Amino acid sequence: MQWLLGFMDHLDRLGYVAAGFSLLVLGMIIFAHAWYVFLMRPVQLGLLPAGLKLLNDLLLVIILLELFRTVVRFLQTEVLELEPYLAVGIIACTRRVLTASAELSHQLELVARDTRQELFQQYLMDVGLNVTVIIVLILGVYLLRKRPTAQRPTPA
């Protein structure tokens, strides 16, 4: 039975390693593709939309790298920390705020005048919710850093 548990633990670690490499490779592919699209399409899309798309993709890469770093840290210490997930949430909400503003500016050009007010109200609610989540997550990071750290006993 002990051998089986050791084997399962080994498979678990192998799964984390595979997931970590996948996050890293996916981040590198998205990074390269984002820059390629930015360099090839600003004339077609316009510089501002192309720049916002690049920023959105780079924030996604940062999220993937933060998750990769969390996996590596877990494999090194076998302690799953909360702060990297809070940081990922903050970045994701920031990314959504930027994306929402880009989407709104594009949609306002395409819809009729009477629909614009409704779209703007929806945008304000979306941004307001995301900003609220960002504030709550920042408060979480602050409280997490202020808490006293307990010394864990070192294994013999």
The larger pLDDT score, comparing residue 4 to residue 153, is at 4
Token pair for residue 116? 């614009």
Domain ranges of the chain: 7-80, 82-146
How high is the mean pLDDT of the chain? 86
Q: CA 86 → CA 41, 49, 54, 59, 106, distances in Å?
A: 34, 28, 23, 15, 30
Give pLDDT tens digits for 29-70.
999 999 998 988 766 667 777 888 888 899 999 999 999 999
Task: Please report the pLDDT score of residue 151 as a whole number.
Answer: 60
The CA distance from 88 to 97, in Å, is: 14
Task: Please report the pLDDT score of residue 119 as a whole number.
Answer: 79
- How much is the average pLDDT of 86-93? 92
Task: Please report the pLDDT score of residue 121 as a whole number.
Answer: 85
Nearest 5°: the CA angle 78, 143, 148 is: 65
The larger pLDDT score, comparing residue 1 to residue 126, is at 126
Q: Does the structure show a pLDDT above 60 at 152?
A: no
Q: Does the structure show a pLDDT above 90 at 27?
A: yes
Give pLDDT tens digits for 90-121.
999 998 888 887 777 766 666 667 677 787 88
Task: Please report the pLDDT score of residue 155 as a whole number.
Answer: 54
